[in-house]
Amino acid sequence: MRRTWGLLAAVLAAVLLAGWNPQVAGQVQRSITNDTLTVALGTEPSTLDPQRTSGDGLMVTKHIFNTLVFPDRNLVIRPELATRWAVASDGVTWTFELRRDVQFHDGTPFNAEAVVFNLRRALGPGTGPSLTKTWLDMVDIDGVKVLGEYTVQIRTVAPFGGFLFNLGHIGGGLMMSPASVQRFGREIGVRPVGTGPYRFVEWVRGQRIVLERNDTYWGPKPSYARVTFLPIPEEAARNAMLETGEAGVSVRVSPLEAARFANSQQIQVIKALVARPFAMWFNVTRRPLRDIRVRKALNHAVDKRELIKAFFLGDAAILDSVLPPGLPGYRSVGVYEYDPAKAKSLLAAAGYAQGLRLRAYCPHGRFTLDAEVCQAVAGQLAKVGVTVEVRTFGDYAAFLSTLEKEPEFDMYFFGWASGSLDPDGALWPTFASENAGLRWNFGRYRNARVDRLIRAARIEMDQSKRRQLYAELQAILVDDAPWIFLYTTYGYTGARKQVKDVWVRPDEQILFYNAYPAR
């Protein structure tokens, strides 16, 4: 009996001690140094295959990989692995000249063959789900050709004015080493090899991803010798780590915590506009909402300022267009002023003087305070006699499939971001009638004028002409009121004060290869 208990104790001790690696002891603590930047990420990437990852994974992969072109801080397309490019007069045949001094981290050269390999891999059949497939779905795979060792041709299926933005998407067309892809097969997702400013060192699942500076990088070499990404799902823990110095950067700080850090000696909050407009999207096939007077009435019935004050401590911008400020092509169109009397008279004119019952679908937990804002909007609409029955979805997947399959709703709360940071990505999926009833035009919006303009802007190669088309589109769409226009928010990133030049993009991706420690 005594022996049995002793055995049990030994087994318990073995379980507890198994796998302790004395080398990592103490490594994680106090990591504010001039050498290593530790970043507390919200979620762990599912994979580091740049053509398959998403969300926070893209932040990590953009440090390891390059794109052919990439937008700068002002969202102007700049060369990365491509030095020059031109589009032929047919509007579909693009030629890219590549840098000649680039090597992958495994020592193999980067050249036109590698570009063709990567596009084929990403777009060809049998590669499974691929992010690049989506960003580059306009690429005609048979028109991707090696023209010379450092010259590559890429043909698109139709002229597309936003092509460079898709090619420069943070998850589009990132160049992987063909030799390593072939060597590692499926494993490439856990041992990525690119041309980027950092090379991959290790990924301990659930614990950390470590990158180190690529000393043979073709571009400006990063200051930090190492960047370590820690997946810390809970905001309180991320911020605690920032306060203790276990982390140098904490992503997605909430407005309240950001206000708390405002007076901190050690911590700075980097505030950046998020290019994601929030709105209640109407299902324009429902009877009351077919009437533009009702749509405008509902816009006038919502006090945006009050929502921003109540939910975002006043720190958000009232949405004044279908595009978010900061996106290329954005133009401020105007705001439906809060005017309950006008809302009531518009409703009366539409034949709803006695009021109206509507059903709203809202995600819960997908966006900041989504369900709460929904309830508040419903509360405001009640004041003009519109009763809103709010149905919330804790599960985002269920929310999306319900929007697609059960259109018995009148409106839904949503924030849509253009992944490519080009206006086409914001307007084509959401307003083109081809997509009515599909993602992301769940409101079944159809408007022949809008369709014409979206298509014209799509194929226009002259960027200033495109801008004019988008300006016209924004004016039409705001006037047609397909949404209750609400707000765009700011994203807050916490960083130790000695970490300088952290680049927070309007798509909430954060890049560290320009960051440097204050001396």
CB 271: neighbour CB atoms within 10 A? 14
Residue type, 268: Q
Beta carbon nearer to another protein, 197 or 248: 248
Answer for the pair 67, 85: CB distance below 8 angstroms, yes or no: no
Among 144, 210, 211, 230, binds another protein (CB under 8 A): 230
Q: What share of the chain is helix, strand, coil (3-state, %, to 5)?
A: 35, 25, 40
Q: Does residue number 137 form part of the binding site for another protein (CB under 8 A)?
A: yes
Mode of pairing for the β-strands spanning 82-87 and 93-98: antiparallel
Biggest distance spanned by C-alpha atoms of the chain: 89
Q: Does residue number 21 form part of the binding site for another protein (CB under 8 A)?
A: yes
User: Residues 420-459 vs another protein: string with x where CB under 8 A?
Assistant: x----x---x-----x--xx--------------------
Query: Using CB under 8 A, which residues numbered 97 to 126 contact another protein?
Result: 126
Q: Does residue number 282 form part of the binding site for another protein (CB under 8 A)?
A: no
Which window, 73-81, 226-234, 307-315, 333-341, contacts another protein (CB under 8 A)? Answer: 226-234
Q: Does residue number 234 form part of the binding site for another protein (CB under 8 A)?
A: yes
Among 76, 89, 142, 206, binds another protein (CB under 8 A): 206
Q: Does residue number 233 form part of the binding site for another protein (CB under 8 A)?
A: yes
Beta carbon nearer to another protein, 166 or 283: 166
Take residue 311 and report the two structure tokens written for it: 């939910």
Q: Does residue number 192 form part of the binding site for another protein (CB under 8 A)?
A: no
Dihedral sign computed on CA atoms, order 381, 382, 387, 392: positive
Q: Min. distance of Cβ 449 from another protein in angstroms?
A: 23
DSSP string computed for 110-122: P-HHHHHHHHHHH
Which window, 228-236, 292-300, 328-336, 471-479, contacts another protein (CB under 8 A)? Answer: 228-236
Q: Give start and end residues of each alpha helix (H) in 65-111.
A: none
Take residue 333 and report the two structure tokens written for it: 């169109």
Mode of pairing for the β-strands spanning 386-393 and 356-363: parallel
Q: Min. distance of Cβ 22 from another protein in angstroms?
A: 9
Query: Using CB under 8 A, which residues numbered 42 to 101 contact another protein?
Result: 43-44, 46-47, 49, 52, 54
C-alpha span between 192 and 180 (Å, rounded): 8
C-alpha span between 320 and 500 (Å, rounded): 33
Among 95, 134, 375, 463, binds another protein (CB under 8 A): 134
C-alpha span between 238 and 249 (Å, rounded): 9
Compute how many residues bind another protein; rule: CB under 8 A. Answer: 69
Q: Min. distance of Cβ 15 from another protein in angstroms?
A: 5
Q: Of all helices (H) and strands (E), which one includes residue 248? A: none
Q: Give start and end residues of each alpha helix (H) in 185-291.
A: 235-244, 255-261, 287-290
Among residues 196, 194, 152, which one has the least CA distance to residue 511?
196
C-alpha span between 384 and 11 (Å, rounded): 68
Beta carbon nearer to another protein, 355 or 365: 365
Q: Would you give the DSSP letter of residue 212?
A: E
Residues 6+ apart with CB under 8 A from 474: 321, 322, 323, 330, 331, 333
Which window, 16-24, 93-101, 105-113, 488-496, contacts another protein (CB under 8 A)? Answer: 16-24
Q: Does residue number 10 form part of the binding site for another protein (CB under 8 A)?
A: no
Q: Does residue number 328 form part of the binding site for another protein (CB under 8 A)?
A: no
CA angle 27, 33, 36 (to 5 degrees): 65
Q: Give start and end residues of each alpha helix (H) in 460-511.
A: 463-480
Q: Of all helices (H) and strands (E), which one includes residue 79? A: strand 77-79
Query: Using CB under 8 A, which residues numbered 156 to 175 contact another protein?
Result: 171
Among 62, 99, 199, 208, binds another protein (CB under 8 A): 208
Among 74, 186, 287, 519, binds another protein (CB under 8 A): 186
Q: Does residue number 2 form part of the binding site for another protein (CB under 8 A)?
A: no
Beta carbon nearer to another protein, 29 or 387: 29
Q: Return the residue matching tokens 């809970």.
A: 234
Beta carbon nearer to another protein, 171 or 173: 171
Beta carbon nearer to another protein, 49 or 480: 49
Q: Does residue number 220 form part of the binding site for another protein (CB under 8 A)?
A: no
Q: Which residues bind another protein (CB under 8 A)?
A: 1, 4-5, 12, 15-16, 18-21, 24-29, 43-44, 46-47, 49, 52, 54, 126, 128-129, 131, 133-135, 137, 171, 186, 189-190, 204-208, 230-234, 236-238, 240-241, 243-244, 246, 395-398, 400-402, 417-420, 425, 429, 435, 438-439
